[in-house]
Structure 1
Amino acid sequence: MAVAELGAVVLDCPDPRALAGFYARVLGGTVEGEGDWVDLKLPGGRTLAFQAAPGYVPPRWPSPEHSQQFHLDLDVPDLDAAEKAVLELGAKPLDAEDRSRSFRVYADPAGHPFCLCAC
């Protein structure tokens, strides 16, 4: 049985609206939002999101010194139950201080960040 459902793929970038516009032209869809977070609502119901990253440095491929910069948002009905499950699978908490938010941040076993998001 699966623990979560993929909510959105989120790309860090210096200008979320501009990058969302680029991908809207490439993939279609509707750009929604302003400021530090912009969603691209894709045909078929998926979302590609763009998050402002101060001091953003673009990745170089392939280059271990400049890794890829993105994270996954995983929608879950119960944050506590999902947290328990991902920790048992080898995830590590990255942001355990604020338990009042509707999301929690973890690293997968290879160190890539992802969020569990209350749906």
Structure 2
Amino acid sequence: MTINFAIKASIVLAVSLLSLAACKKDLPPIKNNLTVREAVLSGGFMQIPVKIGTPLQINLAVNPGNIAVTEEATYTSKHPEIASYSKSGVITGLTIGVDTVIINTAGLQVWYMVNVSK
């Protein structure tokens, strides 16, 4: 009975390992993602907190590896009346509200909510 259990356990282990190996090769390669180091998770979304009239220099990075981005980025705002964006990545809050910014650089694109408060 002990031998029979050992054989069954070995078969289950072998099948599990084969299944895991099969799944692993079906996974796509890890892609680079553009991130903003100053962003925080809030309300289930990644947000960049900004205060009215206080400029915030954002720092872009490529993950995995958290590699700094040195190329110039472009910033497209959904609500330019809420926040302004310089070519060098300085965000200035203009009025209380939430903006969505789309950032493009190094062939990558990301969007963030910009939460402007007092």
TM-score by length of 1: 0.31
TM-score by length of 2: 0.31
User: Which structure has the highest strand share of the two?
Assistant: 2
Say which one has the larger Rg: 2
